[in-house]
Chain A
Amino acid sequence: MPPSLPIYMDNASTTRTDPRVVEAMLPYFSEIYGNSASRNHCFGWDAEHAVNTARRQAADLIGAGPKEIIWTSGATESNNLAIKGAARMYAKAPAGESGRGHIITAIHEHKAVIDPCKRLEREGFDVTWLEPGEDGLITRAMIEAALREDTILVTIMWANNELGTINEIPAIGALCHERGVVLHTDATQWVGKMPTNVETDNIDLLSFSGHKIYGPNGVGALYVRRRRPRIRLEAMIDGGGHERGMRSGTLNVAGIVGMGAACALCSAEMDAEGERLFQLRTRLERSLVDSMDVVQINGNIEKRLPHITNISFGFVEGESLMMGIKDIACSSGSACTSASLEPSYVLKALGVGDELAHSSLRLSLGRWTTQEEVDYASLQIREAVEHLRAMSPLYDLHNEGIDISTIEWDAH
């Protein structure tokens, strides 16, 4: 039976809120509408109780204590608070001076990490921008080589959003703890999908988000280690001193309840869900790789999240490919899908040739992805690739045995 259309395969961008999560949230728009900071009436107490339950649920998902969870508006805010908050707190010189301290990150991080690091660079911090190998991974050895006497912060994502590749976070964390350096990890794609324990994984600051884990938009969290060592942050948002002074503002109770419920569901279902998605992704990748030539899976093939695949289809441009699979919602590394007209900087960081970066699709499966959808998507992609290769001058050159990288193109 054909699946109903369109098919959603962009779960790394955002996920559908689980109906069970929506149900948990609903009372907090109507019956339980108090301000969780109102300490003198039951409306406030009920709201605070709900927030605390959610805090426990979020903490349990990552092996933290509830007091170590700071609610934010999402992972972008969590990243900003962690990176700028830690850098400014642990700075070795006051604002306005140079030599304020050294930060290590990587060139293929999410923009929500790159841009705060760039701002810190302008504020007098030194930033080392690590380049991954062609498998996309950042390893302990890379961090070790970059560490300096004045390093104050390492910020490395746990799993890459475009590739799904998994960096050596526990090992990097152990190294950072040996050297007394704060480790922040943007775990937006990782948390809820993979088992996480901030204690055994040696993490000081960890960002995650509600809407990537079948919770609502507009709510996220930052884990801030309280013991061994206690991590302090300079707040970005000042106000009523909410969230232990690290993030003021009346709490988004309904959103927080939703994120808590989403975390609880992930804790219960992650193992089975991960295995199911791994099988589906394997099926999808095999059907594509086996049926066409010059199809390349980008990033380390083993060390990857189970639900994301990033595939380049040689000699076919990504945006036109997406046009041919209009019933399938996914992302492309093609320049044409971005405002900047630059192909994916993540794929470029891996040394994927520009023409293959333009030819990439990111397909990310999720809780409601079915085998029928995977098979349908595979068929649609194959048909679109064949349609486009039939009109691709690059495919002709390839078939004539000409290596397109040897041609001098008249770039415009």
Chain B
Amino acid sequence: MAYSEKVIDHYQAPRNVGSFGKSDEVKERSDIGVGIVGAPECGDVMQLQIKVNDDGVIEDAKFKCFGCGSAIASSSLATEWIKGRTVDDALNIKNTEIVEELSLPPVKIHCSVLAEDSIRHAIADYKKKNDGAGETDSHTSASHNTN
């Protein structure tokens, strides 16, 4: 299968690889949301961590991915796109935009779906940690919890 140049670029130089700490450390931090989607037996697992500031803006994002080149590129691209957005704005990212940006073929659309899912799961985790409150007061509870 031929990959698009953008997929190859993300594969070779993935953006924002990493994490904000071990799984039990980040679990304690209310400024961080974690989304882990997929399953090893399906051949892809994406882990997305977002770090949200007091204004509800995703100031940093890190990913790890077990999966094909398209899965790696989708999650790498997702971190680029969500950084600097508010958590609610990040929810507007659609998998179809990822498909278009990376020129993914039909058999790889599930990679983009997984990337979108990882964003949703990470944001849901962040919101849950912050009392499951709505978007307007989430940053106050976040700062409250970290104190």
Q: Which residues of A contact B (CB under 8 A)?
A: 315-317, 319-320, 323-324, 334-337, 339, 341, 343, 353-355, 358, 390-397, 400, 402, 404, 409-412
* B38:A323 contact, CB within 8 angstroms: no
- In the complex, which range does the number of interface residues on chain B fall in? 35 or more
Tell me the complex Cα distance, A335–B108, Å: 12
Central interface residue in B1, B40, B45, B47, by most chain A CB within 10 Å: B40
* B40:A409 contact, CB within 8 angstroms: yes
9 cross-chain pairs, A with B, having the tightest CB-CB distances, nearest first:
A354-B41, A409-B39, A355-B40, A393-B64, A393-B47, A319-B68, A411-B39, A336-B68, A358-B43
Report chain A residues within 8 Å CB of B66. Answer: 315-317, 355, 392-395
* B40:A394 contact, CB within 8 angstroms: yes
Tell me the complex Cα distance, A341–B109, Å: 12
14 extra A-B contacts, CB within 8 A, seeds A317-B66, A319-B69, A343-B43: A316-B66, A317-B67, A317-B68, A335-B42, A358-B41, A391-B63, A392-B64, A395-B66, A396-B19, A404-B40, A409-B41, A410-B121, A412-B38, A412-B42
Interchain nearest-CB distance for B126 vs A (Å): 17
Tell me the complex Cα distance, A341–B38, Å: 14
Contacts between the two chains (Cβ within 8 Å), count: 101
* B22:A354 contact, CB within 8 angstroms: no
Interface residues of B in 99-146 (CB under 8 A from A): 107, 110, 113-114, 117, 121
Question: B147 at interface (Cβ–Cβ under 8 A)?
Answer: no
* A393:B65 contact, CB within 8 angstroms: yes
Interchain nearest-CB distance for A404 vs B (Å): 6
Question: B72 at interface (Cβ–Cβ under 8 A)?
Answer: yes
* A409:B43 contact, CB within 8 angstroms: no
Task: Please name the residue on chain B nearest to A402 by beta carbon.
Answer: B23
Question: B3 at interface (Cβ–Cβ under 8 A)?
Answer: yes
Task: Please name the residue on chain B nearest to A397 by beta carbon.
Answer: B23
List, sorted by A's number, 18 A–B pairs whose CB atoms are closer than 8 Å. A317-B44, A317-B66, A320-B68, A323-B8, A323-B11, A323-B69, A335-B42, A337-B1, A341-B43, A354-B40, A391-B14, A392-B66, A393-B36, A393-B46, A396-B19, A410-B36, A411-B39, A411-B41
Question: B37 at interface (Cβ–Cβ under 8 A)?
Answer: yes
* B110:A412 contact, CB within 8 angstroms: yes
Report chain A residues within 8 Å CB of B47. Answer: 393
Question: B91 at interface (Cβ–Cβ under 8 A)?
Answer: no
* B23:A400 contact, CB within 8 angstroms: yes
Task: Please name the residue on chain A nearest to B40 by beta carbon.
Answer: A355
**The one of B22, B23, B39 that contacts A410, using a Cβ cutoff of 8 Å:** B39
Report chain A residues within 8 Å CB of B38. Answer: 409-412
* B72:A320 contact, CB within 8 angstroms: yes
Report chain A residues within 8 Å CB of B117. Answer: 412
* B43:A336 contact, CB within 8 angstroms: yes
Interchain nearest-CB distance for B12 vs A (Å): 8
Interchain nearest-CB distance for A25 vs B (Å): 33
Interchain nearest-CB distance for A333 vs B (Å): 10
* A396:B41 contact, CB within 8 angstroms: no
Interchain nearest-CB distance for A359 vs B (Å): 9
Interface residues of B in 1-52 (CB under 8 A from A): 1, 3, 8, 11, 14, 17, 19, 22-23, 36-47
Tell me the complex Cα distance, A242–B69, Å: 50
* A394:B45 contact, CB within 8 angstroms: yes
